Structure 1
Amino acid sequence: MPLHPDSPAPMNDDLLRDTERFLHEQIPLTRAMGVQMESYDGSQLVVTAPLEPNHNHLGTAFGGSLSALATLAGYAMLWLQLGDRHAHIVIRESTLRYKRPVRGTLRAVCLRPDDASMTAFRNTFADTGKARLALQVQIIDADQICVLFEGTFVALR
C-alpha cells in the first residue's frame, strides 16, 4: 500500500520554501527538473516535479529523474530533521526498484524514521560530527507505488 501523499497542511510553509530555495541554489538540477517541496508535516515529506521536463521517449517519467527525485526527497528529509545548516549531507548508497511507469506528476514521499533511529542519529552526529541514516522513499502515481528507493545518507560536520 502506498504512503498517502495527502498529508495535513505544511507544518511551516516558510521552512518548505527555504528548503526549496536551498536545493535550487545548491543543486542546480533541481531547478531544471522543476522540483517543489509540496508538503511536510514533521513526519512525512512530499517532493514533486512535473512530468514535462522529466519525461523519456515514451512519454513516461525518465528513470534518472525518478532516481534524482527520490534521492532529493531523502536528502531534504534529513536536512529538515538535522536542522544544522552547516552540515554536509551526502548519499552513501542506494537501491531503486522500478515497479511501474509514472505517467503524471513525479511525487516522492519520504517518511521520517522512527524516534529511536532519529535519536541515535542525532546523538552520534553530536558526539562525532558524522552520522548515517537509512531512509525510504516511494514514488507514487495514480495511488500506486511506482518506485521504491532505499538510501543511506551521511551527515558530516
Structure 2
Amino acid sequence: MSEINLKEVLDYVQEHIPITVHLGAAIPRYDGSSLTVTAPLAENLNHRQSAFGGSLSAIAILSGWALLFVKLRELGIRSRLVIQKTEFDFLAPVTDDFESLSRLPTEQKYDRFIKMLTTKGRARLVVESEVTCDGQLCGTHKGTFVAVLLTDH
C-alpha cells in the first residue's frame, strides 16, 4: 500500500478532467474511508447568485470518483473508473463556498467490489456524498461507479 499525496491526486484530476480547474475544485481531506472535494462559489455561480446545479453535481461526482481512485491506487490496482449512474437531490441553495464529502459504503460492499474487480476484471459500487455549505446540508448524491481492470500490454 502506497502513501497518498492529495496534491498529486488533484494534479492528476486537473490534467485528465480539465473542467475541475474551471470549477476551482480542491481535495483537502482524505481519511481512508472518506474524501472531501471543495469548490468556491465564485467559479460556480448561477443567475440567482447561488451555485449552479451542474457544478454541485460535478463536484459530488468528483468526490465519489476521487475516493475510489485513491482507494484503488492504495491497493495498487490499475483500472479505468467511470460514473455509470448519478442521482442528485437539491435540498437548499448553496450561497457560499461548498464541499462534497463522499464515504465508502459498508466494508462488506467495498470488499465485494474489490473481489469482483480483481477476479472478474469489472465491478461497480454505489458511493454516496453530501454537499454542504456553511455547515448546512444542501444536497445529496448517489453515484454508481464502474471500474474495469487495466492489464499491462
Q: Say whether the fold is shared (TM-score over 0.5).
A: yes
Report the AA paired with residue 104 of structure 1: D
Q: Deviations over 1:84-126 (max 9, x none)?
A: 4631111111111001001111200011222111110110000
Distance 1:149 1:103 in 2: 18
Alignment partner, residue 23 of structure 1: 13
Alignment partner, residue 87 of structure 2: 95
List 4+ stretches of structure 1 deviating above 6 A.
Answer: none
CA RMSD after TM alignment = 1.6
Aligned residues: 146
Report the AA paired with residue 103 of structure 1: T
In structure 1, stretches of 5+ residues that fail to align are 1-11
Distance 2:29 2:138 in 1: 20
Alignment partner, residue 56 of structure 2: 66
Partner SS state of residue 5, structure 2: helix
Contact 2:29 2:36 in 1 (8 A): yes
Change (3 A) 1:79 1:59: same
Distance 2:96 2:24 in 1: 14
Corresponding residue to 1:118 among 110, 129, 136: 110
Alignment partner, residue 55 of structure 1: 45
- CA shift, 1:16, in A, is 0.8
Report percent identity of matched pairs.
34
Contact 2:4 2:70 in 1 (8 A): no
Partner SS state of residue 108, structure 2: helix
- CA shift, 1:152, in A, is 0.4
Alignment partner, residue 97 of structure 2: 105
- CA shift, 1:43, in A, is 1.8
Change (3 A) 1:68 1:88: same
Q: Deviations over 1:67-89 (max 9, x none)?
A: 10000001001101112463111
Partner SS state of residue 73, structure 1: helix
